[in-house]
Amino acid sequence: MDKLIQEARQLFGIHLTGRQAIALMTYERELLAWNEKFNLTAIRDAEGIRTKHFLDSFSCVLAWKGIPPRTLIDVGTGAGFPGIPLKILYPSMRLTLVESVGKKADFCRHVAGTLKLDAVEVLHARAEEAGQMPAHREKYEWAVARAVANLPVLAEYLLPLVQVGGSMLAQKGQSGPAEAHKAEKALKVLGGEMRQLTRVTLPGVAEDRYLVVAKKVAATPKGYPRKPGVPAKKPL
């Protein structure tokens, strides 16, 4: 854990407190235990969890340039990434986690309860359903997703959840720049505008990663997101 604390500081300027470090250790322990029964994540060793889940989640801080979100929705969160590590960093942030797989949603609820995290809601739903719910549509400063879908599809999942003036953040691999170029049409249709492409290097991870940020400049038309499955089949 000392190595994680040091790398979080060096890479992202994050100063983890003792309480935050303990929360991350508890999270890691629960993830390893649940992973033995349910396939929550392909990463099954402590070092992999610390680099490819915790540090990777922390890299999001590069996108908001010192002003963390007050409200964040994490779509396709899986076992809680990047949402729960970010909530550990920012205890006052209101967090919603969207996950369509029941066991993964259950795990997120379990971790939020175990860590006594306030203002965390777990939605067992598809992204397309969440985007049409009045309680969630255009309600968030930031919507984030990690490796869920190609960017034109992802924009249709995320932008309907973001308030005008807010932003969507996609955590991407090496294809980030090419996907950003391809997503321009989809962003325009959905009320978004490409703003930022930030390269991220994680220790011991060979391929580059990218944070792709789009600003919400206009309301998303009512018809988006389309019905579950349609955005992936017919990307904008």
Question: Are 171 and 146 in contact, with CB atoms under 8 Å apart?
Answer: yes
Tell me, what's the pLDDT at 79?
95
In angstroms, the Cα distances linking 40 to 34, 77, 148, 199, 214 are: 7, 11, 15, 27, 29
What would the pLDDT profile of 91-108 be if each residue is shown by its tens digit? 999 999 999 999 999 999
Backbone angles phi, psi at 228, to 5 degrees: -50, 130
How far is C-alpha 219 from the geometric centre of its chain's CA atoms?
22
What would the pLDDT profile of 36-81 be if each residue is shown by its tens digit? 888 888 888 888 888 999 999 999 999 998 899 999 999 999 999 9
Tell me, what's the pLDDT at 172?
96
Q: Is the pTM higher than 0.75?
A: yes
Task: Check whether 85 has a pLDDT greater than 90.
Answer: yes
Is beta strand 192-200 parallel, antiparallel or unpaired with respect to 209-216? antiparallel
Tell me, what's the pLDDT at 233?
97
Question: Are 196 and 234 in contact, with CB atoms under 8 Å apart?
Answer: no
Q: Which domains does the chain have, with CATH numbers?
A: 2-233 (3.40.50.150)
Question: Are 138 and 164 in contact, with CB atoms under 8 Å apart?
Answer: yes
Count other C-beta atoms under 10 Å from residue 165's C-beta: 9
How many Cα atoms occupy the beta-carbon half-sphere of 5 within 13 Å? 13
Is beta strand 209-216 parallel, antiparallel or unpaired with respect to 162-172? antiparallel
List the one residue out of 168, 165, 214, 172 whose CA is nearest residue 194.
214
What would the pLDDT profile of 129-145 be if each residue is shown by its tens digit? 999 999 999 999 999 99
